[in-house]
């Protein structure tokens, strides 16, 4: 947490309040949270926010100054990170606030109690793509069946750990992989290179449908997640397997108790009957 749907909801909620605003000041309360090229200042004073771009679970804020200078910061929310808009500055900053971008009216705060996330600075979005996003696979909302099949065919890992690998497909995490594999009736322990082209096509279609539904519902709020304006999501109410170990399978005609195991260090919930 947060995964692709949650980060996309953050992006959509922040766009109306950030696009066109001019940055006045950057406050780094924990400088070690900010990483990247020491000579790249990222967003700097006087730049206006032009775009918010997401790839997988990462979100880029892109700005341009009056002289044409560009800047970019990439935020990764990790497990507990938040990007929250506030209409008025706070002094002192709220607890666990690591970076604050102050604008002509209001401020954007990056908070992360567990510090598994971070902020990376780049001189441009193109530099971010080259230095950080090039190592990621295609975004889960745009991956093609052929590309997913090629990536899976190259690994002998189990299917769930393969789908969690951001170099295979960017954006999926524990929640949505469990939900995806349940919908596709595929075992989490299936060897990834045993997935057929037809199954890869089904996975791709179901992946996009699942993620799109979660985005429309505002994402899944299980603990800390809220969007950029503080609103919680509601998709957790639609989870069919995640967090339901020991409960009855919801697939019509099944009724078997859901099982759980640990794969790649993650608790995995699945139906031993429906997913074979």
User: In this structure, are 262 and 158 located in the same domain?
Assistant: yes
Residue after which a domain boundary falls, among 106, 135, 164: 135
Q: How many domains does the chain have?
A: 2
Which of 115, 99, 111, 89 has its CA nearest to residue 225? 111
Residue after which a domain boundary falls, among 113, 135, 157: 135
Determine, yes or no, domain membership for 276.
Answer: no
User: In this structure, are 104 and 169 located in the same domain?
Assistant: no
Cβ proximity of 97 and 109 under 8 Å: yes
Cβ proximity of 99 and 109 under 8 Å: yes
User: In this structure, are 123 and 14 located in the same domain?
Assistant: yes
User: In this structure, are 259 and 187 located in the same domain?
Assistant: yes
User: In this structure, are 117 and 165 located in the same domain?
Assistant: no
Q: ∠ CA(205), CA(208), CA(214), 5° rounding?
A: 140
Q: How far apart are CA 109 and CA 200, in angstroms?
A: 39
Which of 170, 167, 165, 201 has its CA nearest to residue 186? 201
In tens, the pLDDT along 79-88 reads 889 999 999 8
Q: What's the confidence (pLDDT) of residue 35?
A: 82
Q: What's the confidence (pLDDT) of residue 203?
A: 98
Q: What's the confidence (pLDDT) of residue 42?
A: 74
Determine, yes or no, domain membership for 140.
Answer: no
User: In this structure, are 11 and 129 located in the same domain?
Assistant: yes
Residue after which a domain boundary falls, among 117, 135, 153: 135
Give the mean pLDDT per block of 10 residues along the chain (276 residues). 95 97 90 70 85 98 91 92 91 86 94 87 94 96 98 98 98 98 97 98 98 98 93 97 97 95 94 91
Q: How far apart are CA 16 and CA 4, in angstroms?
A: 20
User: In this structure, are 66 and 113 located in the same domain?
Assistant: yes
CATH number at residue 226: 1.10.8.50
List, by residue number, the catalytic residues. 2-3, 57, 266
Residues 6 or more apart whose Cβ sits within 8 Å of residue 67: none
Q: How far apart are CA 240 and CA 207, in angstroms?
A: 15
Q: Which residue range is the domain that position 9 belongs to?
A: 4-135
Determine, yes or no, domain membership for 275.
Answer: no
């Amino acid at each position: 947490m947060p995964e692709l749907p949650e980060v996309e909801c953050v992006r959509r909620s922040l766009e109306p309040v950030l696009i066109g605003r001019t940055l006045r000041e950057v406050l780094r309360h924990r400088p070690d949270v900010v990483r990247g090229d020491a000579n790249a200042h990222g967003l700097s004073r006087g730049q206006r926010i032009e775009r918010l771009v997401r790839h997988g679970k990462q979100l880029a804020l892109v700005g341009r100054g009056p002289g044409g200078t560009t800047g970019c910061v990439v935020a990764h929310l990790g497990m507990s990170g938040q990007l929250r808009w506030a209409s008025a500055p706070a002094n002192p900053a709220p607890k666990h606030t690591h970076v604050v971008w102050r604008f002509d009216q209001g401020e954007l705060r990056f908070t992360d109690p567990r510090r598994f996330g971070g902020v990376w600075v780049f001189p441009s979005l193109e530099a971010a793509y080259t230095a950080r996003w090039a190592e990621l696979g295609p975004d889960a909302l745009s991956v093609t069946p052929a590309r997913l099949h090629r990536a899976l065919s190259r690994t002998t890992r189990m299917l769930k750990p393969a789908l969690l690998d951001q170099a295979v497909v960017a954006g999926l995490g524990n929640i949505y992989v469990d939900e995806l594999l349940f919908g596709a009736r595929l075992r989490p322990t299936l060897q990834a290179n045993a997935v057929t082209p037809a199954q890869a096509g089904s996975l791709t279609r179901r992946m996009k449908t699942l993620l799109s539904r979660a985005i429309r519902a505002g994402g899944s709020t299980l603990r800390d997640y809220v969007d950029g304006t503080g609103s919680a999501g509601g998709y957790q109410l639609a989870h069919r397997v995640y967090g339901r170990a020991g409960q009855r399978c919801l697939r019509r005609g099944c009724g078997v108790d859901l099982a759980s195991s640990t794969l790649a260090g993650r608790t995995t919930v699945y139906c031993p009957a429906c997913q074979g």
